[in-house]
Chain A
Amino acid sequence: GQNIDQPTEMTATEGAIVQINCTYQTSGFNGLFWYQQHAGEAPTFLSYNVLDGLEEKGRFSSFLSRSKGYSYLLLKELQMKDSASYLCAGSNGNTGKLIFGQGTTLQVKP
């Protein structure tokens, strides 16, 4: 089967750290993507993990555990502009297709 689960909404405070979790079950799994989508805009690529471990990119980090079917996106030093939806997507290496979760809407408050 193919399924991606992530929380629907999260709230955090400016300057804080927030972790957005994602569990997946994807046929032919070949990596886990995170996208950011501001309201009314297109999704934009944030990160990609194919091996277990943490990938750090500035204030954003993404973690993958293939054995547990689990990933998280870590946002540090939150800024108001980080208020957006964060989409988790599993990649099927056989087809090149992405299976998206419903997205987590993050609200950053002052």
Chain B
Amino acid sequence: DAEITQSPRHKITETGRQVTLACHQTWNHNNMFWYRQDLGHGLRLIHYSYGVQDTNKGEVSDGYSVSRSNTEDLPLTLESAASSQTSVYFCASSEGTIAKNIQYFGAGTRLSVL
């Protein structure tokens, strides 16, 4: 079955370190998204991509970067991790059609920055 997987599921790192979170989908979806979820804020969009070589900033993109070298993967990099980036990170993908553009979510990565 097609799916979307995130790795690692849990990560502890130190401030200042570079961290990369992986996201891989096998639906052949054009659109991919990265969100963070914090208490009191709901899901907030970090970066998104509409296809290979396309990346766009979301509402909370500072300190994060993404790259899209193929359809299946959209890794999220924290250039220099900060304690404020402790959060649960979700990756999602959608088909790319405008109508009923359902996003399907990965299981999430819980990141702690100490």
Interface residues, chain A, with chain B CB atoms under 8 Å away? 30-31, 33, 41-45, 48, 50, 87, 89, 91, 93, 96-98, 100-103
Contacts and interface: CB of A to CB of B under 8 A. Distances in A.
Contacts of B45: 97-98
19 contacts: A30-B101, A33-B103, A41-B108, A42-B90, A43-B43, A43-B90, A44-B105, A45-B103, A50-B99, A50-B100, A91-B101, A96-B31, A97-B33, A97-B58, A98-B103, A100-B35, A102-B41, A102-B42, A103-B42
Contact residue range for chain B?
20 to 34
A97 B104 CA distance: 13
Contacts of A31: 100
Closest A-B pairs by Cβ, 7 of them? A102-B42, A42-B105, A100-B43, A100-B42, A96-B101, A43-B105, A42-B107
